Amino acid sequence: MAPARTQPDLSFLLDHTSHVLRTRMAAALAEIGLTARMHCVLVHALEAERTQAQLAELGDMDKTTMVVTVDALEDAGLAERRPSGRDRRARIIAVTEAGAGVAEKSQRIVDRVHAEALATLGEGDRVVLLRALGHLVDGHLAAPVESPPSARRARQREK
């Protein structure tokens, strides 16, 4: 017998909506040849002079994913690595003119996907949902907690 649930399954609700939103976003951005990560890098690099490490942190990307993302942007002619104007030892990600145009298009796509998702709610519910999620992100769920790595058994060789 399963234990009685005393609270709504918040994990499922957030995971499911996040997953579906990410798939819709990926499909919409793919129409212009971008990924969500590429969009994120372009937009944040246009906001201020930022290094690859700073952009990775903003986009919640590991180092390898960030390198692959910037390589793809460079290959597409949308961004380039340049020496920083403030620190000659640091390299920043600079968005090209073509990249700025693509970032403008991708931001309109992102805004449209978000608006479509929120359109299923009434105006009052939309305001409440966004305010509540903002409180969670700024409060109790602002940062992940460290958890021990899961124990994995070594793969056994067949004899």
How confident is the model at residue 144, as a pLDDT? 86
Q: Which token pair is 98?
A: 């073509």
Neighbours of 57 (CB within 10 A): 13
Query: Mind listing the pLDDT tens digit of every residue in the chain (159 residues)?
Result: 889 999 999 999 999 999 999 999 999 999 999 999 999 999 999 999 999 999 999 999 999 999 999 999 999 999 999 998 888 888 899 999 999 999 999 999 999 999 999 999 999 999 999 999 999 999 999 988 888 877 666 666 665
How confident is the model at residue 158, as a pLDDT? 62
Structural element, H or E, at residue 3: none
How confident is the model at residue 155, as a pLDDT? 65
Adjacent-strand bridge partners of 95: 79
How confident is the model at residue 19, as a pLDDT? 97
**Whose structure tokens read 């609700």?**
13
Distances (CA, A) of 25 to 13, 19, 32, 45: 18, 10, 12, 20
- The domain limits of the chain are 19-138
Phi then psi for 120, rounded to 5 degrees? -75, -10
For the domain spanning 19-138, the CATH number is 1.10.10.10
Nearest CA among 54, 53, 48, 32 for reference residue 113: 32
Neighbours of 20 (CB within 10 A): 11
The radius of gyration of the chain from alpha carbons, rounded to an integer in Å, stands at 20
- What is the pTM for the complete model shown? 0.84
Phi then psi for 85, rounded to 5 degrees? -75, -20
Residue pair 133/84 in contact (Cβ under 8 Å)? The answer is: no
How confident is the model at residue 154, as a pLDDT? 63
